Each structure stands twice: as structure tokens, then as C-alpha cells.
């Protein structure tokens, strides 16, 4: 596996890739130099993240390492299907794919690809922000939601 650290508005992000797919994205925070890796997949992931943070990319096109179960892959696909700038509750996502809200919450909590698999778009019932396991938790989730809604700001309950 090969890693690359990229700078972002969230702080440093570590990208990890195997030969054919991204293996993980980790929001580590703090300041770090954005270093070129010479690894085409990591360089493409870094470019797509930079475009996302610049507001010019709404959907990622990166090969992600598959999860170990078909159910996990289905939960991931349901989260990825939430459009840029929109949110859905754990219950809404669960109903859409015939699952339970708790399973969606676990998929978000275990998500190895924050931002790219946009678990920040999954919120609690009645608009509560819910939880976030990436970066600085809820603060990071709020930042991502605000970034995606810069055209039409929305307010989410605390």
C-alpha cells in the first residue's frame, strides 16, 4: 500500500491505495504539506478532493476497495446515492433500500472513505445533525454540509 497526505480545509487527509483501488481516506487534521506521490490513483484522488473543496466537483469517480459483504456494499451504495447538497435521515436511507436505520448508522461509523462516501449527508430524524466519525466529529460534518450548501445555505439542528 502507498499513502499520500493532502492539505484540505479540514486539515491533513491521508489517502491510502493499493494497486487498483483506494483502501482508505483518513481525516487526520493539523497542517501538513500536500505532497505529490507519483502514484496515479493517489494523485487522481488528491485532484478530485481539491476540486470538491473548491466547489467544482459534486460526484467522485474513484475505484474504492470493496467491502467484505454484499450487504456492506449495498449500504455504501445507498449512502453514495444521496445527491450533493442534500441530506437524508438514517431512516430514509434505510427505507429506500429495505434496511434498518441502525445498519445505516453502523455503515457510516465504519466508513473507510469519508467525503467520497458521503456519510456526512446522513442526518438524524427531525434534522438533527447526528454523529460523524471522521476528523473532529460533528464539527467536521457541519463543515462538509455547509460546504455543499454554499449556494442555498440551510440550517441543521444541533
Higher pLDDT, 137 or 93: 93
Statement: residue 18 has pLDDT above 70: yes
pLDDT at 90: 95
For residue 122, the SS3 value is strand
Which residues are identified as catalytic? 119
Domains and CATH numbers, the chain: 2-54 (3.30.160), 70-148 (1.10.10.10)
Mean pLDDT of 124-148: 86
Helix (H) or strand (E) holding 42: helix 40-54
pLDDT at 34: 67
Tell me the β-bridge partners of 123.
89
Statement: residue 106 has pLDDT above 70: yes
Q: pTM for the complete prediction? A: 0.89
For residue range 24-75, what is the model confidence (pLDDT) as tens digits? Answer: 999 998 887 767 768 899 999 999 999 999 999 999 999 999 988 999 999 9
pLDDT at 77: 96
For residue range 142-154, what is the model confidence (pLDDT) as tens digits? Answer: 999 999 986 444 4
Per the rule left: phi > 0, alpha: psi between -120 and 50, beta: everything else, 64 is: beta
Higher pLDDT, 131 or 90: 90
Confidence of residue 156 (pLDDT cuts 50, 70, 90): very low
Average pLDDT score over the chain: 89
CB proximity list for 50: less than 8 A, separation 6 or greater:
6, 8
pLDDT at 150: 61
Nearest-angstrom CA–CA distance, 98 and 78? 11
Q: Which three cell numbers stand for residue 119?
A: 456519510
Amino acid at each position: 500500500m502507498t499513502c499520500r497526505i493532502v492539505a484540505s480545509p479540514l486539515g491533513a487527509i491521508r489517502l491510502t491505495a493499493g494497486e487498483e483501488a483506494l483502501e482508505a481516506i483518513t481525516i487526520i487534521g493539523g497542517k501538513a504539506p500536500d505532497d505529490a506521490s507519483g502514484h496515479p490513483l493517489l494523485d487522481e484522488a488528491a485532484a478530485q478532493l481539491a476540486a470538491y473543496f473548491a466547489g467544482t466537483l459534486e460526484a467522485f469517480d474513484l475505484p474504492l476497495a470493496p467491502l467484505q459483504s454484499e450487504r456492506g456494499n449495498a449500504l455504501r451504495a445507498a449512502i453514495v446515492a444521496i445527491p450533493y447538497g442534500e441530506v437524508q435521515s438514517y431512516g430514509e436511507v434505510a427505507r429506500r433500500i429495505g434496511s434498518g436505520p441502525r445498519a445505516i448508522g453502523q455503515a457510516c461509523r465504519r466508513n473507510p472513505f469519508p467525503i467520497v462516501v458521503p456519510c456526512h449527508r446522513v442526518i438524524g430524524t427531525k434534522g438533527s445533525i447526528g454523529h460523524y466519525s471522521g476528523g473532529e466529529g460533528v464539527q467536521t460534518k457541519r463543515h462538509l454540509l455547509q460546504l455543499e450548501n454554499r449556494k442555498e445555505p440551510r440550517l441543521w439542528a444541533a
